[in-house]
Amino acid sequence: MSFISRCFQVARSPFASGIGSVRTATKRAGGSVRNHGGSPGKRLGVKKFSDEAVIAGNIIIRQRGTQFHPGQNVRFFLCVVDSLYVKALAFLLQVGIGRDQTIYALTPGFVRFYKQKWMRGERKFVGVVLHRGEILPRDEAALGRDRYCGLVNLNAAANSRPIEMTT
């Protein structure tokens, strides 16, 4: 075989001879991780479960983003506003949400979780009720308003006995 014919063969198929070999990886590429094993976890998740007693200030859920939303009779507290109206309003609410989306109780009661249709899907909500076993969302047409809605008989509330916080 002449030199010229060998050059034409190499030009047609470079992999047939040893001239055009291809090098392949000898070690598999490593993936990337978020925590790298050296940093501690963030301790996120549900801290108080359904029908568990809470008092004011107890953290119910620590989360990033809003997997759980404040439910019925509940408002978002994304920033602290120094006004008498907001401070007075805080006593009427059951659950607040912090700057880092931490949901916490503002009044004593029992935790309730529920799902509700929202746009085209479902949303998970959390609230605090006065009595253990009470169902949320509350049917206001049949049961009337809850004690935290501004239409409370204060004389009857003062004479009633306090709620029991047994677990």
Q: Which residue has the higher pLDDT, 88 or 75?
A: 75
What pLDDT, in 10s, does the model give residues 98-116? 888 999 888 888 999 999 9
Quick check: is 135 in a domain?
A: yes
Q: Which residue has the higher pLDDT, 23 or 64?
A: 64
Quick check: is 113 in a domain?
A: yes
Quick check: is 34 in a domain?
A: no
Tally Cβ neighbours within 10 Å of residue 56. Answer: 15
pLDDT band at 13 (very low <50, low <70, confident <90, very high): low
Provide the residue range defining the domain that includes 120. Answer: 45-159
Query: CATH no. for residue 150?
Result: 2.40.50.100
Quick check: is 97 in a domain?
A: yes
Phi/psi at 131 (nearest 5 deg)? -110, 140
pLDDT at 84 over 50: no
User: Structural domain tally of the chain?
Assistant: 1
* Residue 81: predicted pLDDT: 44
pLDDT at 53 over 60: yes
pLDDT at 167 over 90: no
